[in-house]
Amino acid sequence: GGGPAGLAAATALNLTGHTVTVYEKNAAPGGLLRYGIPDFKLSKKMIDRRIALMEEAGIRFECGTEVGRDISGGYLARRHDATVLTIGTPQARDLAVPGREASGIHFALEFLQGQNRVLGRECAALPVNAAGKRVVVIGGGDTGSDCVGTSVRQGAASILQIEIMPKPPETRSPSTPWPQWPYLLRTSSSHREGGERRWNLATKRFCVEGGRVAGLEAVTVEWEFSPLGRPLTFRELPDSAEFIPADLVLLAMGFTGVAAEGVAAELGLAVDARGRVQPAPERGIFAAGDSASGASLVVRAIADGKRVAQAVDAYLKGGAQ
């Protein structure tokens, strides 16, 4: 995997003197840096510059190559002394409610990757286009915010971002004192560009007309809070159902981890109940980033890539003695 964890691990191992090959299933390295984060937040020229420096340093990239489809785990074992799995958390959290099968309902990354691939000239047309449509984004995190900003740029007729969680406080909650990550309301540049945000809404079903989504039915929820102000549990308010029109629904509710089948199975690795790969360092197989610890931040993926590089280096030096 050529995302932030993989690139960090490759760089650190290269600096230590090892020969490194990065296998990436996409057409170019970067992972979510290239295919998830919109160009208006991260110019892909920054990634290209870093990849060029890595190649000059001797790191080899095999793009368009997927383990389990193009090459096998056995091939990796025969060709390399150690393997590091850094494939992120490819499984998006779904919303299993009636009407989910309708067209016009997509995972956020389908939408964001399509935009980035068009801008990167990997494809000519947007696979999911918000132009002229009433867009509803389900999920209030960074990925949902990126969907808002991308929908603005594609010319959506309207944009509504809904979240089941309550609206965070305007200032840091006492439940997250420094140095903890503060629980408070965050407004991104995308939110300032357009669209509306609503909280305390749970989607009960999608309304379908002629096989396409026409909207969704949502209910208001009421939260119970801890003494310090953190949401704990919620209940649905009776007689609060409402219809929200939509021509395009984007699911931005996070990620559930790595599937037990696929690359993990190909390498003979177990996956725990939270979708985290269990490495086998005794066999020279390591894991880093989101695939090892769950979905998190880019900076944490980079740090974990550097950490695992130290473990790989120690394994290789021990094996050579």
Helical (H) or strand (E) element with 9: helix 4-16
**109, 115 in Cβ contact below 8 A?**
no
Query: CA 32, CA 47: separation in Å to the nearest integer?
Result: 11
The 3-state DSSP composition of the chain as helix, strand, coil percent (nearest 5) reads 30, 25, 45
Q: Does 319 score more than 80 pLDDT?
A: no
Q: Does 320 score more than 70 pLDDT?
A: no
Q: Residue 208's closest CA among 220, 217, 196, 219? A: 217
Structure tokens given for 239 = 């007689």
Query: CA 114, CA 128: separation in Å to the nearest integer?
Result: 7
Query: CA 171, CA 233: separation in Å to the nearest integer?
Result: 22
Structure tokens given for 243 = 């219809």
Q: Express each pLDDT in 177-190 by its tens digit.
A: 999 989 999 999 99
Determine phi and psi for 207, rounding to 5 degrees: -95, 130
Find the mean pLDDT for residues 51-73: 96
Q: Does 221 score more than 90 pLDDT?
A: yes
Q: Residue 171's closest CA among 187, 188, 186, 184? A: 184
The domain locations on the chain are 4-90+256-320, 94-253
Q: Express each pLDDT in 75-114 by its tens digit.
A: 999 999 999 999 999 899 999 999 999 999 999 999 999 9
Query: CA 275, CA 256: separation in Å to the nearest integer?
Result: 6
First CA to last CA distance, the chain: 29
Query: CA 244, CA 218: separation in Å to the nearest integer?
Result: 7
Query: CA 14, CA 19: separation in Å to the nearest integer?
Result: 6
Query: CA 190, CA 157: separation in Å to the nearest integer?
Result: 16
Query: CA 278, CA 271: separation in Å to the nearest integer?
Result: 6
**8, 30 in Cβ contact below 8 A?**
no
CATH number of 4-90+256-320: 3.50.50.60
Q: Express each pLDDT in 282-312 by its tens digit.
A: 999 999 999 999 999 999 999 999 999 999 9
Find the mean pLDDT for residues 140-144: 94
The band of 27, judged by pLDDT with boundaries at 50, 70 and 90, is very high
**115, 317 in Cβ contact below 8 A?**
no
Bridge partner list, 278? 270
Contacts of 161 (CB under 8 A, 6+ apart): 136, 137, 139, 140, 144, 145, 147, 148, 191, 195, 196, 197, 198
Q: Is 66 exposed, middle or buried (0-12, 13-18, 19+ CB in 10 A)?
A: middle
pTM of the model: 0.93
Q: Please tell me the least confidently modeled range out of 144-148, 216-220, 254-258.
A: 254-258
Task: Please report the pLDDT score of residue 279 as a whole number.
Answer: 96
**DSSP at 30:** -
Query: CA 276, CA 259: separation in Å to the nearest integer?
Result: 9
Task: Please report the pLDDT score of residue 321 as a whole number.
Answer: 38
Task: Please report the pLDDT score of residue 90 as a whole number.
Answer: 87
Query: CA 137, CA 251: separation in Å to the nearest integer?
Result: 6
Mean pLDDT of the chain: 96
Task: Please report the pLDDT score of residue 141 as a whole number.
Answer: 92
Fold adopted by 94-253: FAD/NAD(P)-binding domain (3.50.50)
Bridge partner list, 268? none
Same fold, 4-90+256-320 and 94-253: yes
Bridge partner list, 213? 208
